[in-house]
């Protein structure tokens, strides 16, 4: 990805591996630092709608997640050292606090996920976000209140032996990373007129 070359670390080397090392463990201190990265994200009116479940091998949140992954994700997600269940407050809680509608709840959760992901990269870890799991079943098992919606999982770990991957995963892992041309996403004076 030559046009990512001007980017600063930890952005420049960020990508989403699918083959994590199943023997690697993160410490509680590392998990805490990743959570702090999400916590210090900016948000609309500093509302901080994000809520993060820590799913580590052996705990209940991890069991709930692993039981409800899609078939494709059930191969690679369990190899991650830790998975964050990323939820966000989309409606008012029992006390009437919270948003009227969820647009900025999703936007701000995305920001928090990005901060966590980039902090992971700065710590020598990699993150791979995914949405393929039965959100309602996991939410029910971990006891999520109705005003918090589970949006994604953020798998964190270190890359593992490529031999662990099946053929389909290896093809995904090896494919070139692509993005739309800048001219298709960035506009100047008027929408549709490329910025550059």
Q: Which is closer to a second copy, CB of 59 or CB of 161?
A: 59
Q: Does 53 bind a second copy (CB under 8 A)?
A: yes
Q: Does 171 bind a second copy (CB under 8 A)?
A: no
Work out whether 119 is an interface residue with a second copy (CB under 8 A): yes
Q: Is 114 in the site for a second copy (CB under 8 A)?
A: yes
Backbone angles phi, psi at 89, to 5 degrees: -75, 120
Kindly provide the residue ranges of all beta strands, DSSP E only, lying in 24-178, ordered along the sequence: 50-56, 82-89, 126-130, 148-157
Stretch that binds a second copy, among 17-25, 47-55, 70-78, 163-171 (CB under 8 A): 47-55
Task: Tell which positions 128-147 bind a second copy, by CB under 8 A.
Answer: 129, 131, 142-145
> Please, which residue, 140 or 162, has the CB nearer to a second copy?
140
Residues in the chain: 196
Strand 148-157 vs strand 50-56: parallel, antiparallel, or unpaired? unpaired
- Among 125, 151, 156, 165, the residue binding a second copy under the rule CB under 8 A is 151
Per-residue CA distances from 42 to 14, 45, 99, 104, 113 (Å)? 21, 9, 16, 11, 12
Among 23, 92, 166, 195, binds a second copy (CB under 8 A): 195
Is the CB of 33 or the CB of 74 nearer to a second copy?
33
Element (DSSP H or E) covering residue 108 = helix 103-122
Residue 91: CB atoms within 10 A of its CB come to 15
Rounded Cα gap, residues 82 and 25, in angstroms: 8
Among residues 66 and 122, whose Cβ is nearest to a second copy? 122
* 59 is a site residue for a second copy (CB under 8 A): yes
Return the residue of 27, 36, 70, 97 that touches a second copy, per CB under 8 A: 36
Please report whether residue 37 would count as binding a second copy according to CB under 8 A.
yes
Q: Is 54 in the site for a second copy (CB under 8 A)?
A: yes
d(CA 196, CA 178): 19
């Amino acid at each position: 990805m030559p046009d990512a070359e001007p980017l600063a670390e930890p952005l420049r080397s960020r990508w989403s591996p699918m083959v994590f090392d199943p023997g690697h463990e993160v410490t509680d201190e590392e998990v805490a630092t990743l959570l702090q990265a999400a916590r210090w994200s900016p948000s609309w009116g500093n509302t901080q709608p994000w809520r993060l479940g820590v799913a580590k091998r052996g705990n209940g949140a991890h069991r709930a997640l692993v039981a409800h992954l899609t078939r494709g994700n059930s191969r690679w997600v369990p190899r991650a050292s830790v998975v964050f269940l990323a939820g966000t407050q989309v409606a008012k809680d029992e006390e009437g606090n919270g948003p009227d509608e969820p647009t900025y709840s999703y936007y701000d959760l995305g920001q928090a996920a990005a901060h966590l992901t980039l902090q992971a990269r700065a710590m020598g870890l990699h993150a791979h976000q995914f949405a393929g799991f039965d959100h309602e079943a996991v939410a029910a098992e971990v006891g999520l209140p109705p005003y918090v919606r589970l949006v994604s999982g953020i798998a964190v770990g270190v890359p593992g032996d490529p031999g662990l991957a099946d053929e389909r995963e290896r093809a995904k892992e090896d494919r070139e990373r692509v993005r739309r041309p800048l001219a298709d996403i960035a506009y100047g004076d008027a929408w549709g007129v490329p910025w550059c």
